[in-house]
Amino acid sequence: MKFQYWLSVCLVMLIGCVSTSTWPSPSSNDAGNAMLIRRGAYLAVAADCASCHRGVADAAPYAGGLAIVSPLGKIIASNITPSVSAGIGAYTEEEFRRALKDGIGRGGMPLYPAMPYTAYRKLTDDDIHALYAYFMNAVPPDDRRPPPTRLDFPFSIRSSMRVWNALFLDDTRAAKPLSPELERGRYLVDALGHCSACHSPRNWLMAEDNRNRYLSGGAVNGWYAPNITSDPESGIGNWTQAELVQYLRSGQVRNKAQAAGPMAEAVEYSLRHLDEADLNAIAAYLKQTPAMGTPDGASPAQAADTALAQAGASTSLPGAALYASACATCHRLGGQGAYDGYFPSLTRNSDVGADKPNNLIMTILYGVERRGENVTVWMPAFGQTLDDAQVADLVNYVGMRFGRRLTHVSADDVATLRKGGPTPAIAWLPYMMAALGLLIVIAIGYWLARVRGRHSRKDARQPD
Ligand code: HEC
Ligand code: HEC
Ligand code: HEC
């Protein structure tokens, strides 16, 4: 017993000696910490933590409170400053790792997947360590507590997320090893940038379909995150590497595409701050993804419509006058744009020519706002001044005149996007459950009535 005790004391001392002899001096340790924190700060930007977790009132970084609109209802982003009372100050590194990778908050509370842990699951432990060092040491604590998230039953029961996690958390590793640059690109796209959260379609339970339709286009609260696979027709296959890098850095490529809505936020808060090598790695990775058509993309009927649109005289459409009064000052009557592309051309714009009119409708309703390094891009929102029918007329005119597509957008289509897009099937779950509950009650009632009926018949036959 004694011998074992002294043996262990000696061992501990030996290990202590070896490890202290390899300890760096305090000053290089500080430099190491500073480097770790700086790396964590860069990772937080690449993972876009700030765009969801920003404060609402005075935009205090990471103070939370922003309501993330989801088909389940509004989910409030947490305060992730190191405040012990309101933020994540009490999180250990292991708890922080679990929140990011498993979607389990402190005390075992399952988080809603509005927090993109399905993507952060692929983060390396080294990067989680750097992120933790950054949040704990370099983010100023903010003691304001955001309001709690209140969803309707059954989504209010957080434990239901455990079932969802069991079904959909995916740990399959990519089969094909890539070059170091492409691996970096894959990591930025899949783990940090969580691009598939918007750019992959989802199933009826709101899980991303990355196995079959990776990055081939997905709906985001009324917007449409287009196909960004290497498909030359519906994806980014005909974009050059330089165009992709420029789009990610500035949100616009002249005569091609502009980033509005959720993509404008991704550019503003995250992508424009990434270094050149990382932007190139993302572009190179996207360019070699398997080409895939957009789900429910253009049909042959639409192609025929396009030919018709090219032949048709479009100036007589009801949207023409609206366009002249509301849009032409900036985009010009011929749609060619102005001021060196600051007001972009609509004749060569990915949203105007797109199969899906979503982004054109949403741009008219909500405008564009995107802050860059030295320029803020701004287009007014027309959602308050134009009604649904007027927006539909405008979209049909702009689509035909400049996008060479015959679109048949109705006032109802516009109304649907105004409220965040068509209701996905999962939102009907409470009603389905209520209907099922009612059926069960009726069935039990019927069964009880029959049993009782049988008993009373028996009672009637056997007088006591
Ligand atoms: C797309 C939006 C989004 C992004 C990006 C995002 N989060 Fe979150 N996060 C949320 C939401 C929403 C919640 C609250 C979820 C809930 O209440 O279930 C949350 C919760 C958390 C929590 C749990 C806090 C608590 O309430 O105890 C932590 C920790 C966290 N996020 C850290 C991060 C970090 C670190 C990053 C960047 C690496 C990040 N988040 C990026 C939306 C986001
Ligand atoms: C929060 C949702 C969201 C996230 C996250 C997101 N995107 Fe997007 N993205 C969109 C939307 C919406 C559009 C369409 C914007 C528009 O045209 O105004 C878009 C447009 C694009 C386009 C232009 C495509 C075209 O045909 O015009 C590219 C390229 C792109 N995104 C790449 C990325 C990459 C790479 C990432 C990850 C680093 C990413 N996106 C993350 C929503 C998102
Ligand atoms: C005050 C000037 C102004 C007016 C008026 C205006 N726009 Fe814009 N529009 C802009 C600017 C600025 C952008 C963003 C350019 C960028 O992202 O670099 C833009 C972008 C767009 C885009 C591209 C969005 C994308 O994500 O690709 C479309 C489409 C568009 N406008 C259509 C319209 C229509 C239709 C009208 C009339 C209802 C209109 N605009 C009125 C200035 C204007």
Q: pLDDT tens digits for 244-258?
A: 999 999 999 988 999
Please indicate whether residue 191 or residue 4 has the higher confidence score (pLDDT): 191
Q: For residue 14, what pLDDT is reported?
A: 47
Q: Percentage of residues in the chain with pLDDT exceeding 90?
A: 57
pLDDT-derived band of residue 289, with 50, 70 and 90 as boundaries? very high
Mean pLDDT, range 454-460, rounded to an integer:
70
How far is 112 from 99, CA to CA, in rounded Å?
11
pLDDT-derived band of residue 388, with 50, 70 and 90 as boundaries? very high
Q: For residue 20, what pLDDT is reported?
A: 43
- Mean pLDDT of the chain, nearest integer: 87
Which of 78-82, 151-155, 198-202, 328-332 is predicted least confidently?
151-155
Mean pLDDT, range 147-152, rounded to an integer:
91
What residue spans define the domains of the chain?
Answer: 30-171, 174-295, 300-421, 429-458
- Domain 174-295 sits in CATH at 1.10.760
Q: For residue 310, what pLDDT is reported?
A: 54
How far is 197 from 119, CA to CA, in rounded Å?
8
Mean pLDDT, range 175-198, rounded to an integer:
94
Asked if residue 154 has a cis previous peptide bond (ω within 30° of 0), the answer is yes
Distance 265 CA to ligand 2 centre (A): 10
Mean pLDDT, range 175-195, rounded to an integer:
94
pLDDT-derived band of residue 316, with 50, 70 and 90 as boundaries? low
Please indicate whether residue 110 or residue 160 has the higher confidence score (pLDDT): 110
Residue 375 has pLDDT above 60, yes or no: yes
| E strand or H helix that includes residue 31 | helix 26-46
pTM across the whole model: 0.86
Mean pLDDT, range 229-239, rounded to an integer:
93
- Give pLDDT tens digits for 330-356: 999 888 888 888 899 898 888 888 888
Q: Is the CB of 331 under 6 A from ligand 3?
A: yes
Q: For residue 19, what pLDDT is reported?
A: 44
Mean pLDDT, range 100-106, rounded to an integer:
96
17 is in an annotated binding site: no
- Pick from 214, 304, 226: nearest CA to 262: 226
Distance 227 CA to ligand 1 centre (A): 26
Please indicate whether residue 403 or residue 196 has the higher confidence score (pLDDT): 196
Q: Is the CB of 350 under 6 A from ligand 2?
A: yes
Residues 6+ apart with CB under 8 A from 360: 351, 352, 354, 395, 398, 399, 403
Q: For residue 263, what pLDDT is reported?
A: 96
Which of 18-32, 264-278, 318-332 is predicted least confidently?
18-32
User: Which ligand has its closest atom nearest to the C-alpha of 263?
Assistant: 2
Distance 193 CA to ligand 2 centre (A): 11
Mean pLDDT, range 46-58, rounded to an integer:
89
Residue 100 has pLDDT above 70, yes or no: yes
- Pick from 333, 306, 337: nearest CA to 322: 333
Q: Is the CB of 262 under 6 A from ligand 2?
A: yes
Q: For residue 460, what pLDDT is reported?
A: 62
In one-letter notation, the amino acid at residue 270 is S
Residue 363 has pLDDT above 90, yes or no: yes
Residue 99 has pLDDT above 90, yes or no: yes
408 is in an annotated binding site: no
> Residue 8, Cβ neighbours under 10 Å: how many?
10
Long-range contacts of 108-112 (CB under 8 A, 24+ apart): 109/158, 110/158, 110/159, 110/161, 110/162, 110/165, 111/158, 111/161, 112/70, 112/72, 112/75, 112/149, 112/151, 112/155, 112/158, 112/161
How far is 134 from 76, CA to CA, in rounded Å?
23
Q: Of all protein residues, whose CA lies closest to atom 41 belonging to ligand 2? A: 195
Residues 6+ apart with CB under 8 A from 305: 405, 406
For Cα atoms 119, 419, 206, give the angle at the middle one, nearest 5 degrees. 30
Residue 277 has pLDDT above 80, yes or no: yes
Residue 313 has pLDDT above 80, yes or no: no
How far is 289 from 185, CA to CA, in rounded Å?
11
Residue 116 has pLDDT above 50, yes or no: yes
Q: For residue 273, what pLDDT is reported?
A: 96
> Hey, do 174-295 and 300-421 end up sharing a CATH topology, with the first three levels equal?
yes
Please indicate whether residue 58 or residue 196 has the higher confidence score (pLDDT): 196
In DSSP notation, 331-361 reads H-TTS--BTTTTB--STT-TTTT-SS-HHHH
Mean pLDDT, range 389-395, rounded to an integer:
95
State which of 80, 162, 164, 199 you would mutate to test the pocket of ligand 1, scoring each by most atoms of that ligand within 8 A of its C-beta.
80
CATH fold of the domain at 300-421: Cytochrome Bc1 Complex; Chain D, domain 2 (1.10.760)
Residue 12 has pLDDT above 50, yes or no: no
Q: For residue 456, what pLDDT is reported?
A: 74
